Amino acid sequence: MQGQQSRTDWRMYLNNFLQGRYGHTRQLSWVHTQSGPSHDTRWLAIAYFNGIEYGRGVARDRGTAMEIAAETTYRALTSYYN
């Protein structure tokens, strides 16, 4: 992950942005898939906003994959809507 962000910051930033703009996060949805052997698992997290994919993240754990996808989604939505 880039910069000094902690593991949970990007999901929080994304949720805060959506709450501030829409008053809810209902338009945000996630798909998670796990692959690979148990000793080398990889998680794929995909973030959708209004049914459109905005971010993907791949990592060894689900939370980190979600953070990567959340960062991409946050940056895309804030650059478009701000």
Residue 2 belongs to some domain of the structure: no
Structure tokens at 46: 């995909």
Whole-model pTM: value is 0.86
pLDDT at position 8: 63
**Which one has a higher pLDDT value, 6 or 47?**
47
pLDDT greater than 50 at residue 21:
yes
Residue type at 82 in one-letter notation: N
pLDDT greater than 80 at residue 82:
no
Residue 21 belongs to some domain of the structure: no
Residue 11 belongs to some domain of the structure: no
Three-state helix/strand/coil letters over the chain: CCCCCCCCHHHHHHHHHHHHHHCCCCCEEEEEEEECCHHHCEEEEEEEECCEEEEEEEECCHHHHHHHHHHHHHHHHHHHHC
Residue 49 belongs to some domain of the structure: yes
Structure tokens at 65: 């994959």
Band of pLDDT at residue 80, cut at 50, 70 and 90: confident
Residue 38 belongs to some domain of the structure: yes
The domain total for the chain is 1
CATH number assigned to the domain comprising residue 36: 3.30.160.20
Mean pLDDT over 8-37 rounds to: 95
Instruction: Name the residue range of residue 60's domain.
Output: 28-81
